[in-house]
């Protein structure tokens, strides 16, 4: 029996709230707080049990601390934006509450995707006897857990990791992003970095393309190598990795629009002056694009996200692939959301459950692959993200 405060009432916040509400034996009390309380109330109205809602500005540590001191939750689930990670961690320290998020902290003015700011809280959380679980979404999140589970059960040593994130869904718009457009575009337009022989190698954004055929007739898709934050923690915690890459699928229409928007400066993150006002182009663009939380009813098709790992077992080379396939319309039927928010929100609920049940409660700041993957993997099968594991004869994205 535990109480959680969920911060952020966007696409992911909606799913986390639905999923926590489905498990009253774990999440006996839920408070959903966000900048716009109306959005919390709209989510609350979709549920078949009552939850509390609140208005809070998560950039304001004092206001957040007051909310946490009033509500006295056991855990904060942060599904606001990466800009709020540090202020929410500060408020958790001040109020003595455990913390969980799904994306690493980013400063507003630079797209960095680095854990260093949050890893710097290690001692503070240890001294306070509080747990902070970082990156409990799908990627980062389930992909880190897949990696640690494969390493634990299938190999003596892992050498190569390819995380492959395919969204075979179609929302019918010429251009829309499946999660927060600002975060999505910052991620996709950033330079690519992948791990190769002990160091990160930088290449231009979207400069490496491959074709990937998903299992179970999901189809074949063009995937592009890009940087993704879990690479940083995974190569640190699995030092035998010689190569680690992240791939994501993009449709031609998405890439064409992104190229044009980039060329004309609409994806820029630095403010420009317009009619006497400072405007950040990417924030203006966000106001024009469809809200990701409205894509649910119109998105059809499936996602297929997983990890392919090469390594050594009993002296022999081996390749193992673990993946989850999720149907957008099935997600919509269950929680009124498309699969991108669903596949992020379910692991956030499961990570929270791990902490609240004491399985992953340990003072300090942890990336998700640092805990025992087994109970999380079991819960993925139980709570809507069933996974498969297959051994592959060969795997080479360069061919
Ligand atoms: P949305 O933009 O849909 O939702 C963000 C929510 O946070 C909105 O309700 C917004 O409020 C609220 N918010 C923003 N700033 C503040 C603030 N200062 N105080 C209080 N609330 C605030 O984003 P998503 O739901 O798509 O994404 C949520 C998080 O999940 C992001 O951090 C994203 O990076 C992460 N994510 C992680 C994935 C993974 O697999 N690990 C995949 C997808 C997303 P308002 O409604 O007023 O704007």
Q: Which CATH class is domain 142-336+386-391?
A: alpha beta
pLDDT at 40: 98
pLDDT interval class at 1 (50, 70, 90): confident
Chain segment 236-251, per-residue pLDDT in tens: 999 999 999 999 999 9
CATH number belonging to the domain at 2-134, selected among 3.30.300.180, 3.30.565.10, 3.40.50.12280, 3.40.50.720? 3.40.50.720
Q: Ligand 1 within 6 A of 249 CB? A: no
Residue closest to 396 by CA, chosen among 311, 325, 310: 310
Predicted TM-score (pTM) of this structure: 0.95
Q: Strand, helix or coil at 273?
A: strand
pLDDT at 179: 84
Beta bridge pairs of residue 306: 164, 323
Distance from residue 259's CA to the centre of ligand 1 (Å): 25
User: What mean pLDDT do residues 189-201 have?
Assistant: 95
From 179, 289, 296, give the residue whose CB has the most ligand 1 atoms within 8 Å, as the site to mutate.
179
> Cα separation of 139 and 156, whole Å?
24
Residue closest to 134 by CA, chosen among 68, 81, 176, 85: 85
User: What mean pLDDT do residues 362-375 have?
Assistant: 98
Q: Ligand 1 within 6 A of 139 CB? A: yes
pLDDT interval class at 133 (50, 70, 90): very high
pLDDT at 260 over 80: yes
User: What mean pLDDT do residues 318-322 have?
Assistant: 98
> Cα separation of 287 and 244, whole Å?
35
Minimum-distance ligand 1 atom for the alpha carbon of 59 = 18
CA–centroid distance for 211 within its chain: 24
pLDDT at 181: 86
Query: 192-196 and 243-249: which strand pairing?
Result: antiparallel
CB 296 within 8 A of CB 332: yes
What is the DSSP code (8-state) at residue 74?
S
Residue 371, Cβ density class (10 Å: 0-12 exposed, 13-18 middle, ≥19 buried): buried
Question: ∠ at Cα 157 (196, 323), nearest 5°?
Answer: 80
CB 149 within 8 A of CB 216: no
pLDDT at 112: 77
Sign of the alpha-carbon torsion through 178, 13, 332, 45: negative
> Cα separation of 108 and 112, whole Å?
10
pLDDT at 271: 94
Q: Ligand 1 within 6 A of 80 CB? A: yes
pLDDT at 344: 97
Chain segment 161-176, per-residue pLDDT in tens: 999 999 999 999 999 9
Distance from residue 79's CA to the centre of ligand 1 (Å): 5
User: What mean pLDDT do residues 359-371 have?
Assistant: 98
Distance from residue 180's CA to the centre of ligand 1 (Å): 6
Cβ atoms < 10 Å from Cβ of 264: 10
**High-pLDDT (> 70) share of the chain, %:** 99
pLDDT at 300: 96
Query: Of the given ranges (29-43, 138-152, 245-259), which has the lowest mean pLDDT?
Result: 245-259
User: What mean pLDDT do residues 74-99 have?
Assistant: 97
Minimum-distance ligand 1 atom for the alpha carbon of 58 = 19
> Cα separation of 33 and 19, whole Å?
16
pLDDT at 186 over 90: no
Q: Ligand 1 within 6 A of 179 CB? A: yes
Q: Ligand 1 within 6 A of 141 CB? A: yes
pLDDT at 399 over 90: no
Distance from residue 151's CA to the centre of ligand 1 (Å): 31
Q: Ligand 1 within 6 A of 180 CB? A: yes
What mean pLDDT value characterizes the chain?
96
Q: Ligand 1 within 6 A of 81 CB? A: yes
pLDDT at 108: 83
Residue closest to 99 by CA, chosen among 394, 356, 271: 356
User: What mean pLDDT do residues 10-22 have?
Assistant: 97
The CA R_g of the chain, rounded to the nearest whole Å, is 20
Domain positions in the chain are 2-134, 142-336+386-391
pLDDT interval class at 187 (50, 70, 90): confident
pLDDT at 55: 98
Question: ∠ at Cα 340 (334, 341), nearest 5°?
Answer: 60
pLDDT at 229 over 70: yes
User: What mean pLDDT do residues 87-110 have?
Assistant: 94
User: What mean pLDDT do residues 169-184 have?
Assistant: 89
């Amino acid at each position: 029996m535990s109480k959680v405060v969920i911060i952020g009432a966007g696409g992911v916040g909606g799913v986390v709230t639905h999923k926590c509400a489905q498990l009253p034996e774990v999440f006996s009390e839920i408070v959903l707080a966000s900048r716009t309380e109306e959005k919390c109330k709209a989510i609350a109205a979709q549920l078949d049990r009552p939850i509390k809602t609140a208005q809070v500005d998560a950039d304001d540590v004092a206001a957040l601390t007051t909310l946490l001191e009033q509500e006295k939750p056991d855990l904060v689930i942060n599904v606001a934006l990466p800009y709020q990670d540090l202020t929410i961690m500060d408020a958790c320290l001040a109020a003595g509450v455990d913390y969980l998020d799904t994306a690493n902290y980013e400063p507003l003015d630079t797209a960095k995707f680095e854990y260093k700011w949050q890893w710097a809280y290690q001692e503070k959380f240890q001294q306070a006897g509080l747990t902070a679980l970082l990156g409990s979404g799908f990627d980062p999140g389930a992909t880190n857990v897949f990696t640690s589970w494969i390493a634990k059960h299938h190999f003596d040593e892992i050498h190569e990791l390819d995380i492959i994130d395919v969204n075979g869904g179609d929302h019918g718009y010429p251009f829309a992003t499946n999660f927060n457009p600002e975060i999505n575009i910052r991620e996709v337009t950033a330079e690519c970095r992948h791990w190769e022989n002990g160091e990160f190698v930088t290449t231009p954004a979207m400069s490496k393309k491959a074709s990937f055929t998903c299992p179970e007739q999901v189809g074949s898709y063009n995937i592009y190598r890009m940087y993704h934050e879990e690479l940083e923690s995974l190569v640190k915690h699995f030092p035998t990795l010689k190569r680690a890459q992240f791939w994501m699928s993009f449709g031609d229409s998405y890439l064409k629009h992104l190229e044009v928007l980039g060329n004309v400066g609409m994806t820029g993150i630095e403010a420009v002056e317009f009619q006497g006002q400072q405007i950040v182009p990417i924030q203006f663009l966000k106001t024009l694009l469809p809200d990701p939380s409205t894509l649910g009813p119109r998105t059809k098709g499936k996602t297929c996200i997983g990890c392919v790992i090469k390594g050594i077992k009993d002296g022999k080379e081996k390749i193992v692939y673990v993946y989850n396939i999720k149907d957008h319309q099935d997600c919509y039927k269950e929680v009124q959301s498309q699969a991108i928010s669903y596949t992020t929100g379910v692991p956030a609920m499961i990570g929270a459950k791990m902490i609240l049940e004491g399985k992953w409660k340990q003072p300090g700041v942890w990336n998700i692959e640092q805990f025992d993957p087994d109970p999380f993997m079991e819960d993925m099968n139980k709570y809507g993200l069933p996974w498969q594991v297959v051994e592959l004869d060969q795997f080479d994205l360069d061919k």
